[in-house]
Amino acid sequence: MALAPSKDTATAKGAAAKGSASAKGTASVKGTASARPPSRTPSRGFWSSTIGKKTVMAVSGLIMLAYLVAHVAGNLKVFFGPEEFNGYAHWLRVMGAPVLHHEWGLWLARIVLLAAVGAHAVSAYQLSRRDIRARPTRYVHRRKGSSYATRTMRWGGIIVGLFIVWHVLDLTTGTVHPGFESGRPYQNVIDTFSTWYGNTIYIVAMLAVGLHVRHGFWSAAQTLGVGNARRERALRLLANVLALALTAGFIAVPVGVMTGVVN
Amino acid sequence: MKLNLRVWRQKNAGAEGAMATYEVDGVSPDMSFLEMLDTLNEDLILRGEDPVAFDHDCREGICGACSLVINGDAHGPERTTTCQLHMRSFRDGDTIDVEPWRASAFPVVKDLVVDRSAFDRIIRSGGYVSVPTGSAPEAHATPVPKADADFAFEHAECIGCGACVAACPNGSAMLFTSAKVNHLNVLPQGAPERETRVLDMVAQMDAEGFGGCTLTGECATACPKGIPLPSIAAMNKEWLRARRKVK
């Protein structure tokens, strides 16, 4: 079940592949030259490299992670009552004033985040496709693989991505939120978390975020070359603390609404 | 010991393969896994059947030729090479699944033999140091700090067997490449080619169709020589450094 070189091979290379096909019959392989030519020409380019794409994923992931930390801190203001929460939401719009015009600071953040989401998703898609192509045949004898957080990075990422779409339509634009009132985020939040589906979607997504951050933060450190044997424990710990704090912090809001602490 | 073997049989690179079941009797617990396969092959030859093709050479755990996925684990249940795995790790009556390395960059040649020439081409692209030939320089003229020497040696242990690729769910060769890059890049002898080495070896690795690293850690768990997972982070650091230095 040998695999032919992938289709993006140049014509000249295709000819070379044919030429060496006859050499494949020999049983001794290790050390023999060019029984199978590489599928493409080696490139030192940043974006064409798996490490380059991983670097883009790591940096964009860290930008989103920094945003999540700020986001959860803002969310927790819900426990100080509607004035403080709505006041904070208003401040986000006048952030940077008077240097920045109304909502410019907010839009700046949105643009950076959108770019980060885009870069993260594109590199994830390209790397995933490559990874799947690199290992097309499964072992007959399956064994338990890596940790749950590691195995669910791809699907978890897709779930979180879909959640973000719903979340923006629900609490930013109000498109899918019946009775949405612009400028009254406290009431909108209570409204969303008074529905069973609102709570379910949110809590499941936040668990996915936690798992994603758990493996993602540590991986980003490895990709950016910050990780080493000495820092291993500290990085793992920091990843777990971040994941747990974010998940607990975000879930505290629907739990608060459900238990009547926030009303 | 009596064992049930389920072995991947595939006539050649183009043929369809399948698992075939064999019964092997009279296996001693002191046999190595390869000796057990030799026993099977002798039996197959006597019966006029095609023996199972598998790679092997030194049978001392240092050459990196043997390459079997045994019960889903590269090199089987112990942290060693297949040739150094002994039948005492199994029990009488066990059913054992034996498969070749699986990765599109390592196509099956026959049965359990895969083409690992992709590794040779990665080495050729930068896994060397350029030295002037002639009289050998005085060894003490180039001091190497102890920590660097240890780091280099830890990575020099890689025998290039490909277990890391076989174990990786992405068929990634990052652990192998990082072992080779780190081994030479930390040493003064490797310094002149430090940047081009990592850039070219990573480029060749990607060109061979290996997958990317998702840091599952399967490679380091499977490695018979214990190349540690942080080696990959060390190579990433070297790569990013080289990208900044080389224009």
Q: Do B169 and A226 touch (CB under 8 A)?
A: no
Which one of A126, A139, A142, A155 would you mutate to disrupt binding with B, by most B Cβ within 10 Å of its Cβ?
Answer: A139
Please report the residues numbered 128 through 147 in chain B whose beta carbons come closer than 8 angstroms to any beta carbon of chain A: none
- Structure confidence at residue B139 (pLDDT): 79
Can you give the C-alpha Rg of chain A in angstroms?
A: 24
Q: Which residues contact A103 (CB under 8 A, 6 or more apart)?
A: A93
% of chain B beyond a pLDDT of 70:
100
Q: How many A/B residue pairs have CB atoms within 8 Å?
A: 208
- Structure confidence at residue A9 (pLDDT): 36
Question: Is residue A18's pLDDT more than 60?
Answer: no
The HSE-up count of residue A102 (CA atoms within 13 Å, CB side) is: 1
Question: Is residue A33's pLDDT more than 70?
Answer: no
Q: Do A223 and B207 touch (CB under 8 A)?
A: no
Check if B115 contacts A (Cβ < 8 Å).
Answer: yes
% of chain A beyond a pLDDT of 70:
85
Q: Compute the distance between CA of residue B169 and CA of residue A127 in angstroms, rounded to an integer.
A: 13
What are the pLDDT digits (tens) for A176-221? 999 999 889 999 999 999 999 999 999 999 999 999 999 999 999 9
Question: Is residue A22's pLDDT more than 70?
Answer: no
Which one of B8, B117, B227 would you mutate to disrupt binding with A, by most A Cβ within 10 Å of its Cβ?
Answer: B117
Mean pLDDT on B175-197: 96
Mean pLDDT on B35-42: 97
Question: Are B146 and A63 a contacting pair, CB within 8 Å?
Answer: no
Question: Are A192 and A203 a contacting pair, CB within 8 Å?
Answer: no
Closest in A27, A38, A215 to B208, CB measured: A38
Question: Is residue B204's pLDDT more than 60?
Answer: yes
Mean pLDDT on A160-171: 96
Q: Compute the distance between CA of residue B66 and CA of residue B68 in angstroms, rounded to an integer.
A: 7
Question: Is residue A10's pLDDT more than 50?
Answer: no
Nearest Cα of chain B lies from the Cα of A106 at a distance, in angstroms, of 32
Mean pLDDT on B6-13: 96
Question: Are B212 and A127 a contacting pair, CB within 8 Å?
Answer: yes
Q: Using CA of residue A58, residue A64, residue A68, residue A74, what is the dihedral sign? A: positive
Q: Which is more confidently placed, A233 or B133? A: A233
Question: Is residue B133's pLDDT more than 90?
Answer: no
- Structure confidence at residue A7 (pLDDT): 38
- Structure confidence at residue B141 (pLDDT): 87
- Residue A66, helix vs strand vs coil: helix
> Side chain identity at A116, as an amino acid letter?
A
Average pLDDT of the residues of chain B: 96
Helix (H) or strand (E) holding A28: none
pLDDT band at B95 (very low <50, low <70, confident <90, very high): very high
Hunting for tokens 């030194």 — which residue is that? B58
Question: Is residue B207's pLDDT more than 60?
Answer: yes
pLDDT band at A39 (very low <50, low <70, confident <90, very high): low
% of chain A beyond a pLDDT of 90:
75
Mean pLDDT on B82-107: 97
Distances A182 to A10, A178, A189, A193 between C-alpha atoms, Å: 56, 12, 12, 17
- Structure confidence at residue A19 (pLDDT): 36
pLDDT band at A32 (very low <50, low <70, confident <90, very high): very low
Using the CB atoms, write b or e for B165-189: b if 16+ within 10 Å: bbbbbbbbbbbbbbbbbbbbbbbee
Across chain B, the runs of DSSP E, i.e. the strands, are 3-9, 18-24, 69-70, 73-74, 95-99, 108-110, 113-114
pLDDT band at A143 (very low <50, low <70, confident <90, very high): confident
Q: Compute the distance between CA of residue B120 and CA of residue B127 in angstroms, rounded to an integer.
A: 9
What are the pLDDT digits (tens) for A73-108? 999 999 999 999 999 999 999 998 899 999 999 999
User: Scanning every residue of chain B, which has its alpha carbon at the shortest distance from the alpha carbon of A33?
Assistant: B117
Whole-complex ipTM: 0.92
DSSP B82: G
- Residue A63, helix vs strand vs coil: helix
What are the pLDDT digits (tens) for B138-175? 878 889 999 999 999 999 999 999 999 999 999 999 99
| DSSP-assigned beta bridge partners for residue B7 | B20, B98
- Structure confidence at residue A229 (pLDDT): 87
Distances A105 to A15, A61, A78, A98, A186 between C-alpha atoms, Å: 57, 21, 22, 11, 21
Q: Is B108 exposed, middle or buried (0-12, 13-18, 19+ CB in 10 A)?
A: buried
- Structure confidence at residue B83 (pLDDT): 97
Check if B151 contacts A (Cβ < 8 Å).
Answer: no
Cβ-based contacts of A217 with chain B (< 8 Å): none
Check if A98 contacts B (Cβ < 8 Å).
Answer: no
- Domains and their CATH numbers in chain B: 3-110 (3.10.20.30), 116-245 (1.10.1060.10)
pLDDT band at A36 (very low <50, low <70, confident <90, very high): low
Question: Is residue A2's pLDDT more than 70?
Answer: no
Q: Where are the domains of chain A?
A: 49-135+148-259
Domain A49-135+148-259 has CATH 1.20.120.350: no
pLDDT band at A37 (very low <50, low <70, confident <90, very high): low
Q: Which residues contact A86 (CB under 8 A, 6 or more apart)?
A: A183, A184, A185, A186
Residue among A60, A59, A170 at smallest CA distance from A113 = A60
